[in-house]
Structure 1
Amino acid sequence: MAYAIRPFRDDDADALSNLALAAIREIGPQAYSEAQIEAWAARHSGPDMYRRRVAEGAMIFVAADAEDRPVAYALLEPDGHLDRLYNHPDHTRRGLAVQLLLAAETHAANNGLTRLFTEASELARPAFERAGYAVIQRRDLKIGGVPIHNYAMEKRLD
């Protein structure tokens, strides 16, 4: 199947919200407990968040299928923070996450940033590593009182 990386459009918001929730609920159990998945899903933002974040200066890169339906996305904040990277469960293991990260990297470099950073889930960590990110540290935190972990990671662009 052919995919294209393109910028976010307002009409993508519902699809991105739905695919993120599907990823959390369907892919998440490969690395996280049921309680962790429920806590993560409970703090998931709805479609309006995407429009608001773009209005605030974030860039959202969308991987779309041949029918131009969003199947994965990455959200890059103006300071180089990659806040979100989600793949729909039906479109994993196709290199889309790395393609999205490379698109974000190109955009960041073209805008004078010298560093990208993120807090990657256990499941996203391998994609970030394939794209050249290094783990800074494991982060143990709580979401809704439920212990969970992720990884502080970064990539230098200089």
Structure 2
Amino acid sequence: MTITEIVQCIMDGGEVPASAALGAVEARALLNVAAADRSSLVRSEAVDKHCDSIRSVGPQFYPPSVVEDWEEGLTPDIHVNAMEGGEVFFVAVGQIDNDSAVLGFATHRIDDARDGGSVYVRGLATRRGIGSALLRMVEAHAIGQGATSIHVEASLAGVEFYKANGFEEVGRGDTLLASGRPIACVFMRKTLTST
């Protein structure tokens, strides 16, 4: 299956063979899920995995105070509110110690007619292709929505990941964390092409 076919299958509510999307990892989009189900999944899984990603990778690039600030702003409602605002979430689920668990997630959003995205993967699931597969799904979704490019405000921890996936640096600066405090980031952009 092509990435576009995978995304369309997900958007239509179909099952994507794990081998087609992420090998042993299943990916799905949270598009037309009932609010209660969406809220429950995001509250119980996404915030924990977001924090895990920050705790396991962030300290290699930022001082402890910044990592604490980064994690502090991640409340249980942050992802639910993002979804209600139109942000689309893709979640990678796999096995950890024989239990099904969220391994990472990615998002696609449109801010002021500019497409943006982000990818977070649990520390123990990095360097397995999960983040890249999630990012491809975000890109395919963005293309399906008519986007010609996608922008990210990459944490210093994510710069090499985004470069490896075809993004180019367009600037450096700070962005605001959910806590309201600044964090150094690299502004990156990728031109999207449908294949």
Range class of TM-score, shorter chain? 0.7 to 0.9
For the Cα contact (< 8 Å) 1:12–1:70, is it kept in 2? no
SS at match of 1:69: strand
Aligned counterpart in structure 1 of residue 104 of structure 2, from 72, 86, 96: 72
Offset of residue 104 of structure 1? 0.5
SS in 2 for 1:80: strand
Larger Rg: 2
Task: Verify: 1:19 aligned to 2:41, yes or no.
Answer: no
| AA of the residue aligned to 1:16 | A
- Choose which of 65, 74, 79 in structure 2 pairs with 1:50: 79
How many Å apart are 1:50 and its aligned residue? 1.9
Most deviating of 52-61 and 140-149: 140-149
Q: Is the 8 A contact 1:35 1:146 kept in 2?
A: no
- Is residue 149 of structure 1 aligned with residue 149 of structure 2? no
1:113 to 131, 144, 147: 147
Give the total of aligned pairs.
156
The 1-side partners of 2:82 and 2:176 are apart by 24
In structure 2, relative to structure 1, the CA distance for the partners of 1:56 and 1:141 (3 Å cut) is closer
In the other structure, the counterpart of 2:29 is 7
Match in the other structure for 2:58 = 28
Instruction: Provide TM-score, normalisation by structure 2.
Output: 0.72
Instruction: Indicate the SS of the match to 1:93.
Output: coil
Report what 2:161 is aligned to: 127
The yes-or-no answer on 1:102 pairing with 2:124 is no
- Aligned CA distance change for structure 1 residues 6 and 122 (closer, same or farther; 3 Å): same
Deviations 1:80-129 (A, max 9, x none): 111x3211111111111111111000011111111110100111111111
- Aligned CA distance change for structure 1 residues 104 and 141 (closer, same or farther; 3 Å): closer
- Aligned-CA RMSD value: 2.2
Give ranges in structure 1 of 5+ residues lacking alignment. none
| Unmatched 5+ stretches in structure 2 | 1-22
Per the alignment, do residues 52 and 142 of structure 1 end up closer, same or farther by CA in structure 2, a change over 3 Å counting? closer
Asked if structure 2 preserves the Cα contact closer than 8 Å seen for 1:119 and 1:152, the reply is yes
How far is the alpha carbon of 1:156 from its aligned partner? 1.2
| TM-score normalised by L of structure 1 | 0.87
User: Once the two structures are aligned, what percentage of the paired residues are identical?
Assistant: 26
> Secondary structure of 2:45's match?
helix
